[in-house]
Amino acid sequence: MPRKKLIAANWKMNKSIPESVSFIDNFKNSIKSTKIKDFRDTENPKDFPVSSKNEIVICPPFASLNEVKKSIKGTKIKLGAQNMHFEEKGAFTGEISAPMLRDAGCEYVILGHSERRAYFDETDGIINKKIKAALKNKLKAILCIGETLEQRESNETKAVIKFQLENCLRSINNEEIKNIVIAYEPVWAIGTGKNATPEQAEEVHLFIRGLLKKLYNVDISENIRIIYGGSVNEKNAKELLAMKNIDGALVGGASLDPKSFAEICNT
Ligand code: PGA
C-alpha cells in the first residue's frame, strides 16, 4: 500500500478566531475548485465516497481549535494542536493536556518542534514523555526532528537525527509507533525561505527510514510517514513531494494563506 501523503498546516502563534474561520472558508473553496473535486462532503458525511488524495491537518492556536473544528465539520480536513503538556491534569498554569486536546476535537499534535526546543527548552526526554501521553490519549503525534545549520556544516546531520530519533522514541513499541509521523525539519530551513533541496531532504528521509528499520522492523519503516518541513511553499512542494521517501509536508508560513496552502495540498 502506498503511503498516503499528509500535509499539515502549522499556523504557530498566528490568526485570531475570525481569521481562522475565514481561512477555512476560503481554503474549502480553493480545494473544491481544484483537482480534489470530491473533497467536500456536501450532503451526508456517511456517504462520502472517496477520501481526498492527501490527508490534510490544520494546527491552529489553541484559542481557535473550537471554531476551526466547527468550520471543518463535514469535510475530510483534520484538526491538530501545536503542543501539549505530558501530564494529564494538575497545577501547571498555562498548559494544556492530551485529554483536553482530544476533547477539543484534535486527532494530531505536533511535538518537538524546533521552536519549542529552542525557546522553551524542550529536550528529547520531555518530548518522549509528551509522545507517550499523546498516544495514551489516542492522539497521533507529528514528531519533529532536525539539525541546525552549524550541525549540518560540521557534518553532524545524521548523528543529530539519530540521537533525536532514538531518544524521542525511547520505549515506544511496535504498535505505538504506527501512530507517529516523523517530520524532518532542518532548523536552517524553517521560516528562512531556504528550503532543503529535494535531494538533501530525500537523503535524510531515507536515513530516517533506515534507522526505523533497525529500531523496529522493515514493515514499520516502510509504512511510517516521514514528512518534510522548512520553507515549503506552492512553488517547491511538487518537487519535494515527488521524492520517494517524502510522504508529505509540515507547512508554516505558506499555510497562513488559504490559496497557497490549497495549492500545496493539491500537489
Ligand atoms: P516554515 O515553517 O514553513 O515557515 O518554514 C515550518 C515549520 O516550522 O513547521
**CA distance linking residue 248 with residue 10, whole number of Å:** 13
Which of 10, 142, 192 to probe ligand 1 with, by most ligand atoms within 8 A of CB?
10
Does 146 contact ligand 1 (Cβ within 6 A)? no
117 inside domain = yes
- Residue 176, phi-psi category: left (phi > 0), alpha (psi -120 to 50), beta (remainder): alpha
72 inside domain = no
Q: Which DSSP letter does residue 40 get?
A: B
Domain extent at residue 135: 5-11+79-261
pLDDT of the chain along its 267 residues, tens only? 789 999 999 999 999 999 999 999 999 988 854 444 445 555 444 333 223 578 999 999 999 999 999 999 999 999 999 999 999 999 999 999 999 999 999 999 999 999 999 999 999 999 999 999 999 999 999 999 999 999 999 999 999 999 999 999 999 999 999 999 999 999 999 999 988 999 999 999 999 999 999 999 999 999 999 999 999 999 999 999 999 999 999 999 999 999 999 999 988
Q: How far does the centroid of ligand 1 lie from the alpha carbon of residue 46, in Å?
A: 34
Atom of ligand 1 nearest to the CA of 144: 9
195 inside domain = yes
Which three cell numbers, joined as nine digits, stand for 102?
A: 482530544
Does 164 contact ligand 1 (Cβ within 6 A)? no
* Stated pTM of the model: 0.93
Q: Write the CATH number for 239.
A: 3.20.20.70
Number of domains forming the structure of the chain:
1
185 inside domain = yes
103 inside domain = yes
First to last CA, the chain: 20
Q: Which residue's alpha carbon is at the smallest distance from atom 1 of ligand 1?
A: 252
Cβ-contact 229, 251 below 8 angstroms? yes
Does 18 contact ligand 1 (Cβ within 6 A)? no
30 inside domain = no
Catalytic option among 185, 202, 234, 263:
185
Q: Which residues pair with 111 in a beta bridge?
A: 143
54 inside domain = no
- Which residues touch 73 (CB under 8 Å, ≥6 apart)? none
Tell me, yes or no, if 185 is annotated catalytic. yes
Cβ-contact 261, 251 below 8 angstroms? yes
32 inside domain = no
Tell me, yes or no, if 150 is annotated catalytic. no
